[in-house]
């Protein structure tokens, strides 16, 4: 049974691809909330498109997805967050950006609007800004509790955000995050942007996932324009996506160990990361491979010596990485920090639809490359590692296993790379269409939804980072741990601030 057959709906948008988008009334919206709250469906996204509210849903058993749209009444729609917690922050963000109000929402506080903008509801009916009320952090009561405010400017070279700890001695009783500091208004800049300018913006939503964002954006644009990139472009995209995954996983494995004061792993993994970035530079002319994936294909082919460079990289990593894995596995002082620290409960990972190593470290077997099988992954053989302990150690091991899988993937791709063009002929511009794309970034699935006007420009684009469904789990995972283990837990999540704040 298709996903939409379970939700009463009226018309189905005729230009929405590749999944259907259906208009729903209170009945259908309520039914979708029931299915989310009952664990039948997973929330993929919830965003404003005033006066409509769109919600992307995933049926994990059938690998089927759909979007339902509710037309708000006087700027109001029934709250999803009231019954399904993963929607709460998305609803708060939608209120700040659009002025769309979730009736019955359990949290009336702002989320991205920290009171510094000149306007309220910048993407909806704009109002002059008001002096904001002081932000009320959630209470934690009890004897001997104290608060530790951290950020937005942190001690390391990391992104800004505020963490409010309530602790009893060393033990964390409650952590509350306050994000939004790097909100750049990307979705407002998207509106009216030409397709190539919009692709650049998408590639700068979260720099560490620039390939994944460009990948998902290109998928969405191609779906809306009903075009297919040439097969060689699909394979080149996957090479870049796997190189990005390798570079980030090397960096993360090293940085997690560094936060447990084990600098040797950090130094050795840093070498592997740098070698990967240099290979990317040699192959695609940019260390992070920004702006190489474009709607219609890729902007440039791999350099003539690229295949040899990548094979040398594979050989080097296969030689040194197993020794580092052994080192991680056999160092008791390191394991002492990572095992049983920062546990994410399996039922929470499932309910929040947590992607990447956060979900897969807690038993949620979902990987967009396999479950949605976008090109060229349906043709490639790979495994999706899953572990059940949900601790920092599990998130390290998922990364280790994924490094091994990515090496296999790069090899398969190089062996089977088809020839031919790398970019499809330009699509006709006069087409109005909607498209959705999803790509598996190193930290989880990234979703891009867009609507093109008839002139080759973006009318509305929404980008949803995997972090939206991981940040809230970090608040829970740290509970009962000691304050000193927070950097370790935080690094094992490595959520994006920029990808979340937009």
Which residues here bind other proteins, judged by CB under 8 A? 114, 116-119, 122, 152-153, 155-160, 180-186, 188-189, 197, 200-201, 204-208, 210, 251, 264, 267-268, 270-271, 273-274, 277, 287-288, 290, 323-324, 327, 330-331, 496-498
Cβ closer to other proteins: 29 or 111? Answer: 111
How far apart are alpha carbons 377 and 235 in whole angstroms?
A: 9
Cβ closer to other proteins: 358 or 495? Answer: 495
Least Å from the CB of residue 188 to other proteins? 6
Rounded-to-5 percentages of helix, strand, coil across the chain: 45, 20, 40
494: tokens are 């490595």
Exposure b/e, 97-125, CB count within 10 A at least 16 = b? bbbbbbeebebeebbbbbeeeeebbbbbe
Least Å from the CB of residue 501 to other proteins? 8
Least Å from the CB of residue 396 to other proteins? 17
Least Å from the CB of residue 248 to other proteins? 9
Residue tagged 């469904």 (tokens):
469
Least Å from the CB of residue 154 to other proteins? 9
Least Å from the CB of residue 415 to other proteins? 27
How far apart are alpha carbons 375 and 70 in whole angstroms?
A: 31
Closest CA to 377 of 390, 368, 365, 386: 368
How crowded is residue 337: how many other Cβ atoms within 10 Å of its Cβ?
Answer: 20
Cβ closer to other proteins: 79 or 205? Answer: 205
Estimate to the nearest angstrom the gap between the alpha carbon of 214 and the chain centroid.
Answer: 13
Strands (E), 431-481: 433-441, 444-452, 458-464
- Given a contact cutoff of 8 angstroms between Cβ atoms, the answer to whether 151 and 168 are in contact is no
Cβ closer to other proteins: 3 or 123? Answer: 123
Cβ closer to other proteins: 372 or 396? Answer: 396
How far apart are alpha carbons 152 and 461 in whole angstroms?
A: 28
Cβ closer to other proteins: 305 or 479? Answer: 305
204: tokens are 């700068």
403: tokens are 């490094």
Within 13 Å, how many C-alpha atoms sit on residue 277's CB side?
A: 15
- Sequence-ordered alpha helix ranges (H) in 38-78: none
Least Å from the CB of residue 277 to other proteins? 7
442: tokens are 């190193």
Closest CA to 54 of 96, 85, 18, 87: 87
Cβ closer to other proteins: 120 or 364? Answer: 120
Phi-psi region of 132 (alpha: psi -120 to 50; beta: other; left: phi over 0): beta
Cβ closer to other proteins: 357 or 366? Answer: 357
Cβ closer to other proteins: 180 or 361? Answer: 180
- Given a contact cutoff of 8 angstroms between Cβ atoms, the answer to whether 372 and 42 are in contact is no
Least Å from the CB of residue 219 to other proteins? 20
How crowded is residue 481: how many other Cβ atoms within 10 Å of its Cβ?
Answer: 20
How far apart are alpha carbons 288 and 188 in whole angstroms?
A: 25
Cβ closer to other proteins: 161 or 231? Answer: 161
Cβ closer to other proteins: 111 or 397? Answer: 111
Least Å from the CB of residue 336 to other proteins? 15
Least Å from the CB of residue 471 to other proteins? 15
How crowded is residue 416: how many other Cβ atoms within 10 Å of its Cβ?
Answer: 12
Cβ closer to other proteins: 134 or 144? Answer: 134
Least Å from the CB of residue 151 to other proteins? 9
CA distances from residue 372 to 377, 443, 493 in whole angstroms, order as listed:
9, 17, 23
DSSP 143-180: TTEEEEEE-SS-SSS----EEEEEEETTEEEEEEEE--
Least Å from the CB of residue 75 to other proteins? 19
């Amino acid at each position: 049974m298709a996903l939409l057959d379970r939700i009463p709906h009226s018309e189905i948008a005729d230009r929405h691809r590749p999944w259907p988008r259906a208009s729903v009334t209170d009945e259908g919206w309520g039914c979708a909330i029931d299915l989310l709250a009952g664990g039948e469906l997973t929330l993929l996204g919830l965003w404003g498109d005033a006066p409509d509210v769109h919600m992307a849903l995933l049926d994990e058993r059938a690998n089927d997805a759909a979007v339902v749209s509710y037309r708000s009444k006087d700027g109001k729609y029934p709250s999803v967050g009231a019954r399904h917690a993963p929607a709460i922050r998305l609803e708060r963000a939608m209120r700040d950006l659009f002025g769309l109000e979730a009736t019955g929402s359990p949290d009336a506080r702002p989320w991205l609007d920290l009171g510094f903008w000149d306007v309220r509801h910048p993407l909806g009916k704009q109002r002059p800004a008001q002096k904001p009320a002081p932000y009320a952090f959630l209470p934690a009561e009890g004897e001997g509790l104290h608060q530790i405010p951290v950020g937005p400017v942190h001690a390391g070279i990391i992104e800004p955000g505020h963490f409010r700890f309530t602790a009893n001695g060393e033990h964390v009783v409650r952590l509350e995050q306050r994000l939004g500091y790097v909100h750049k208004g990307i979705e407002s800049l998207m509106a009216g942007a030409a397709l190539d300018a919009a692709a650049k913006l998408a590639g700068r939503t979260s720099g560490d996932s620039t390939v994944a964002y460009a990948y998902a954006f290109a998928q969405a644009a191609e779906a809306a324009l009903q075009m297919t990139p040439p097969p060689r472009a699909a394979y080149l995209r996957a090479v870049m996506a796997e190189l990005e995954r390798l570079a980030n996983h090397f960096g993360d494995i090293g940085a997690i160990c560094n936060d447990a004061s084990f600098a040797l792993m950090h130094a050795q993994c840093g070498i592997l990361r740098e070698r990967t970035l240099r290979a990317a530079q040699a192959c695609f002319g940019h260390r992070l491979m920004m702006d190489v994936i474009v709607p219609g294909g890729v902007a440039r082919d791999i350099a003539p010596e690229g295949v040899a460079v990548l094979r040398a990289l594979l050989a080097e990593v296969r030689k040194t990485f197993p020794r580092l894995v052994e080192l991680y596995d056999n160092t008791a002082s390191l394991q002492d920090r990572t095992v049983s620290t920062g546990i994410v409960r399996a039922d929470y990972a499932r309910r929040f639809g947590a992607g990447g190593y956060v979900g897969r470290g807690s038993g949620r077997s979902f990987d967009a490359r396999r479950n949605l099988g976008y090109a060229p992954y349906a043709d490639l053989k790979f495994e999706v590692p899953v572990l059940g302990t949900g601790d920092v150690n599990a998130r390290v091991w998922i990364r280790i296993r994924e490094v091994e899988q990515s090496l296999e993937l790069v090899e398969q791709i190089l062996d089977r790379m088809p020839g031919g063009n790398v970019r499809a002929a330009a699509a006709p511009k006069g087409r109005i269409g909607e498209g959705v794309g999803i790509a598996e970034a190193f930290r989880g699935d990234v979703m891009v939804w867009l609507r093109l006007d008839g002139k080759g420009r973006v009318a509305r684009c929404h980008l949803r980072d995997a972090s939206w469904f991981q940040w809230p789990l970090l608040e829970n995972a740290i509970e009962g741990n000691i304050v000193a283990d927070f950097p370790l837990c935080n690094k094992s999540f490595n959520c994006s601030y920029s990808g979340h704040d937009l």
